[in-house]
């Protein structure tokens, strides 16, 4: 599947894995923590992206809220693998992201290239 990013929307080019109902927005009128969780859940559950891909997409779009889920970093942090589990979005925000932020520092977390 190929996604085309135009402004705040992701538009799927029709294919085998296009989401039901066509395109959907990743912008939500929710407070930041709830919106971030909803964005990740949308990519994981509706679009069926694996967590590394979903977090990579969201890191590009919202670098101040996300970081890429990396199995090497997860291993170094001593976190058990949770990719593919029903609670993977919750565990990303409760286990993985806080440990990465603690190591990199909040000021270095939102570095954009």
Residue 17 lies in a domain: no
Q: Model-level pTM greater than 0.85? A: no
Number of domain units in the chain: 1
Residue 95 within a domain: yes
Residue 19 belongs to a domain: no
The reply to whether 18 falls in a domain is no
Residues 89-97: contacts with CB under 8 Å, at least 24 apart: 89/37, 89/40, 89/41, 89/44, 90/37, 92/40, 92/51, 92/55, 93/33, 93/36, 93/37, 93/40, 96/69, 97/66, 97/67
pLDDT digits (tens, 9 = 90+) for 7-64: 444 444 444 444 455 555 555 454 566 788 999 999 999 889 999 999 999 999 888 8
Strand partners, 6: 9
What is the reported pLDDT for 7? 44
Examine the pLDDT at 92 and tell me if it is beyond 90: yes
Q: Band of the pLDDT at 103, cuts 50, 70, 90?
A: confident
Residue 20 lies in a domain: no
Q: Provide the residue range defining the domain that includes 41.
A: 2-12+25-109
pLDDT for residue 33: 65
Q: Give a yes or no: residue 62 inside a domain.
A: yes
Residue 84 pLDDT exceeds 90: no
Give the pLDDT confidence score for residue 32 in this predicted structure: 60
Query: Is the residue at 73 inside a domain?
Result: yes
């Amino acid at each position: 599947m190929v996604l085309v990013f135009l402004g705040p929307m992701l538009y799927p080019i029709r294919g085998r894995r296009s989401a039901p109902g066509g395109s959907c927005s990743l912008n939500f009128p929710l407070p930041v923590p709830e919106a971030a969780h909803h964005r990740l859940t949308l990519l994981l559950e509706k679009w069926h992206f694996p967590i590394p891909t979903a977090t990579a997409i969201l890191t590009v779009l919202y670098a101040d809220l996300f970081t890429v889920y990396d199995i090497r970093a997860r291993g170094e942090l001593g976190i058990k693998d949770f990719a593919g589990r029903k609670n993977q979005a919750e565990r990303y925000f409760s286990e993985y992201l806080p440990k990465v932020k603690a190591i990199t520092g909040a000021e270095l977390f939102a570095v954009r290239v």
